[in-house]
Structures are given as C-alpha cells and as structure tokens.
Amino acid sequence: MPHRGIGLSFLNALIELLYPRLCCVCGTGLTRGENLLCTSCLYDFPFFDAALISGDGLFSSFEEKCRPEGFHSLFYYNKYSKYKNLVHAVKYRSQKELGIFLGKMLGERMRGKIQADAIIPVPLHAAREKKRGFNQSQRIACGISEALGIEVWEDVIVRVKDNISQTGLEPEERRRNVENIFELRNPAKINGKHLLVVDDVITTGATVSSCLKVLADAGNVRYTLACLARPLA
C-alpha cells in the first residue's frame, strides 16, 4: 500500500523535525546515516593510546594481590575536550544505546589482545541504579561482550554503600570514600578466573581498586581493566 509508506516517512520526518537527533559530542544535528556521533567527531575521535599511560602510576596504589595485568580505555579527554560530553551522555542522557555503542567500539579495539573468562561491570548501588534507570558500566560491558563474545556476570559483586561522588576529593579522601562499599556474593564462580572489570571512567582508580580488592577474596583471580575514558590533566 504505497500511501501507507508515504505516511510513515512523513511521520519520521515530522519526528526528526520535532526531536532532532544531535551528535553526543558536538551537539550538531545528525544527518541520515549518522548515529549518535557525527562523521566529523568520529573522524577526530581521540582514541586512547596505551603509550600515554605507561608510567603514569595508575596501578601503583593497587595492592599486589589485585594488580591488573592490563588496562584498556577507548578514549582520553581533558577539561577542554568536547569529548568529555560523552562521559556525561553515557550516564545521564536518554540515549540508552550510547553506552553499548561505545562499549562495542572498545571491545573491537581489544579483540585479540585479551583472554578473559567473564566481564564484571563495577556495580552501582541499587537505589542509584533505580533512580538512573540503568548502570552505565553494565551498558559498556554489554557492548564489549557483543564485540568479544565474553559473558557479563552481574551476580558476583554488589555495591552495598551509596558513597558520595569522588569528584573534588583529595586522594586520601577518595580512598576512604570507597572503603567497604562492595560485597562479594558468589566467590566460587570467580575463583581461578580471569576477569575483565569495566567502569565508565577511571581517574585515580580508587573505586575500581576497592572493587578488585573484594573480588580478590574469591582467591586466585586475575584482572584486566577496561573503561570508556581516562581523563588526562
């Protein structure tokens, strides 16, 4: 029925007019064929280069038993970079597919470089997850899982304390703020396993190191870390 097709495309055009799809990085209108990021922002994408981090001391604060074997990040940003908008968008915007989209990009870059048994997203406190409607780290983990074919396990660790944001805290305050916020639920499942632990942003690593410390109680656990973004000064 041709008239029906015309009606639908008219409806789509009207929806685009009323709710234009915008680039999550620069905010310009997306054209047909573009999804979430415009072509120009994808072209200039500041992919994280492992050489940038070697020697920057991220793992120095991690205890020996939970020191990661590797670290992967999709991109880096600083306070002047428009790409920091992505970090915000993954957490708060209504574009539900953005975390999965970026997680998939990250997973594709990790292909052939990692041999993990499972992916563990850093959990949010249940109350916060309910308020936000989702856990952004879980979305990223699902994107990585799609790219690498590694399962996401969400039943091994929970966040039992809804700590205040780490933003603006001094290193020692950050460490104390994330003490005892996680609890292990399924130690037998991860004993002897290599885990890919995923967070949205890793700054000083205080939160993720607190998470690894709890996972380490399961015994004989190996780690690799992955995040979407690493802020650089």
Query: HSE (CB half, 13 Å, CA atoms) of 38?
Result: 15
* Binding piece for Zn ion, criterion CB under 5 A, among 12-20, 34-42, 67-75, 194-202: 34-42
* Binding piece for Zn ion, criterion CB under 5 A, among 37-45, 152-160, 168-176, 213-221: 37-45
**DSSP, residue by residue, 77-112:** E-TT-TTHHHHHHHHHSS-TTHHHHHHHHHHHHHTT
Residue 227 interacts with Zn ion (CB under 5 A)? no
What are the residues whose beta carbons fall under 8 Å from the beta carbon of 144, sequence distance 6 or more?
103, 104, 106, 107, 110, 119, 150, 196, 198, 226
The edge-to-edge listing of strands for the beta sheet with 118-121 is 71-77, 222-231, 194-201, 118-121
* Binding piece for Zn ion, criterion CB under 5 A, among 24-32, 45-53, 92-100, 147-155: 24-32
**Distance from CA of residue 96 to its chain's centroid?**
13
* Binding piece for Zn ion, criterion CB under 5 A, among 3-11, 18-26, 55-63, 208-216: 18-26
For residue 205, give the DSSP letter.
S
- Residue 197's SS3 state is strand
Residue 41 interacts with Zn ion (CB under 5 A)? yes
Residue 58 interacts with Zn ion (CB under 5 A)? no
Amino acid residing at 10? F
- Partners of 37 in the beta sheet? 35
Residue (26 or 158) nearer to Zn ion, CB:
26
Q: How far is the CB of 86 from Zn ion (least distance, A)?
A: 10
What are the residues whose beta carbons fall under 8 Å from the beta carbon of 96, sequence distance 6 or more?
134, 139
* Strand duo 118-121 + 157-159: pairing: unpaired
Residue 23 interacts with Zn ion (CB under 5 A)? yes
Q: How far is the CB of 16 from Zn ion (least distance, A)?
A: 17
Q: Out of 38, 87, 102, 196, which residue is the one contacting Zn ion (CB under 5 A)?
A: 38
User: Binding string, 159-198, against Zn ion, x = CB under 5 A?
Assistant: ----------------------------------------
Residue (41 or 218) nearer to Zn ion, CB:
41
Residue 142 interacts with Zn ion (CB under 5 A)? no
Q: Out of 21, 22, 26, 175, which residue is the one contacting Zn ion (CB under 5 A)?
A: 26
Q: Out of 25, 53, 212, 229, which residue is the one contacting Zn ion (CB under 5 A)?
A: 25
* Binding footprint of Zn ion on the chain (CB under 5 A): 23, 25-26, 38, 41
